Amino acid sequence: MVVSADSSSVQYFADRRDAGRRLAQSIAQRDIKDHLLILGLPRGGIPVAYEVARELKAPLDVWLVRKLGVPGHEELAMGALASGGAKIMNEDVVRSMGVRPESIDWVVAKEYQELKRREQEYRGERPLPEIKGRVVILVDDGLATGASMRAALKDLGSHEPARLIVAVPVGAPEVCRALSREASEVICLLQPRFFNAVGNWYQKFTQTTDQEVRDLLSQAQPDAANPA
């Protein structure tokens, strides 16, 4: 199921924090209360997820994903990697762009190294959060191709969560529909017919820094990885 907001009430977001507050209000209206864990996809998903976790009084943690960009067209995702090793490939993009197997291998190796760097940067020695039996809400700042979110869903599915919910401020309608077949539920406030790009639906859409990610994770609900 895909849940969207009344388009007359939300037309764009001031910034990611504003989007997170609005998203949290929508989630709070649903029967999603117990055994919650909010997971943000870095980097842009963390400011959104921080506001969701704060509003819902739920623990916040990070789940690492890396887009696999087409060589020479890095903004176009041909797939994605996630922390636990899950890999998603968009075969249509690979075929249409004529990406050779050796190029894919090179991009995967490069992004795997960046994934490990960010894991250390954001998590340090802190263990992965407990997933089994919990209602996990996966948050990003938007859905364009959905590759990163699909990799995260595949990764987390092996940890036996009670429910896996995708929550984003804005997304391409066809991507939201496709993800609803992989997640328990998809909550997306805006699904513009002419989507174009995530940043088009924010007044301010500057790059989220590593320092901002670290700061928000440290300010969030304590003991996210090991709740009582």
β pairing state of 65-70 and 2-3:
unpaired
* Higher pLDDT, residue 29 or 142: 142
Report the sign of the C-alpha dihedral through residues 37, 39, 45, 47, in that order: positive
Give tens-digit pLDDT for 178-190: 999 999 999 999 9
10: confidence class by pLDDT, cuts 50, 70, 90:
low
Q: What share of the chain is helix, strand, coil (3-state, %, to 5)?
A: 40, 25, 40
Report the C-alpha gap between 203 and 13 in whole angstroms: 6
What are the C-alpha distances in Å from 100 to residues 59, 71, 95, 106?
42, 10, 9, 10
> What's the pLDDT at 83?
81
Residue 5 has pLDDT above 60, yes or no: no
Question: What pTM, to 2 d.p., does this model score?
Answer: 0.89
**In the chain, what are the domains?**
2-63+125-219 (3.40.50.2020), 67-122 (no CATH)
Pair of tokens at residue 97: 């762009």
| CA–CA dist 16, 65 (Å, integer) | 19
pLDDT at 7 over 60: no
Q: Give the number of residues written for the chain.
A: 228
